[in-house]
Amino acid sequence: MGWNNPDVPWSALEAVLSGRNGTSLSGGPEADGGDSPAWSRKRESYRPPPLVEPGERVPYAELHCHSNFSFLDGASPPEELVEEAKRLGLDALALTDHDGMYGVVRFAEAAAELDVATVFGTELSLGLSAPQNGVADPEGTHLLLLAREPEGYRALCRTVSAAQMRGKEKGRPVYDIEELVGHTAGHVLALTGCRKGAVRQALRAGGPPAAARELRRLREWFGP
């Protein structure tokens, strides 16, 4: 399927994942720690750094934010994004990495420690003709969705997982729009802010009437 996984028997893989043989897949000692508090199953709890919050603040929630799990788009780990949100006094922060919920555990753990309100979402890449790994300005139309509640989070996870498997190549999820809408309608919010979103692209290509058509389509799919 193009995942480039190591040639490891299932019994050996299961032993490593269970921590029974004391080694990693690379043959070295079992990993414990690493580049983030959420790196291994034996990780330490997140420890927030000292932060100074602003004395005065303007009410604001950032609802379109990528971590370093979105290669060539985001640069900071989820924990650092939460720390910066706390320092700036944001009302809430949404994590919306591309085609996955990769950073939500780290994100949620840091947010709980720092008392930052969170929103979980993802930015879906529609209409990909080939894998986009390492492409600085990837093709496709982007659809930014935020979970309204736990069922919305579960629906997004199911949708992304199905698309990743359907694509059969890493970096090329293939979304079935009918399936996507069926799983998520009523449980997610759709945003239009991305420059690669359908509304922005239509506005650039066909002006306000074209953008209005795309906006109506989003409302039909996901509701107000």
The string of pLDDT tens digits covering residues 170-224 is: 889 999 999 999 999 999 999 998 889 999 999 999 999 999 999 999 999 998 7
pLDDT at site 135:
80
- Supply angle C-alpha 54, 55, 60, rounded to 5: 55
Alpha helices in the chain (DSSP H): 10-18, 78-88, 104-114, 150-167, 177-184, 198-222
Cβ contact 64:89 at 8 Å:
no
Residue 3's contacts (CB-CB under 8 Å, 6 or more residues apart) are: 170
Closest C-alpha among 206, 148, 149, 141 to residue 177: 141
Q: What is the pLDDT of residues 26-37, one digit of tens each?
A: 454 444 444 554
Pairing of strands 61-62, 92-95: parallel
- pTM of structure: 0.79
Question: What are the tokens at 58?
Answer: 């303007």
Judge whether residue 122 has pLDDT over 70.
Answer: yes
Domains of the chain, residue spans: 9-44, 59-222
Report the pLDDT averaged over residues 17-21. 64
Closest C-alpha among 213, 172, 196 to residue 221: 213
Please state, in angstroms and rounded to a whole number, the distance separating the CA atoms of residues 98 and 102.
9
Its CATH class, for the domain covering 59-222, is alpha beta
Low-confidence winner among 39-48, 111-120, 123-132, 148-157 (lowest mean pLDDT): 39-48
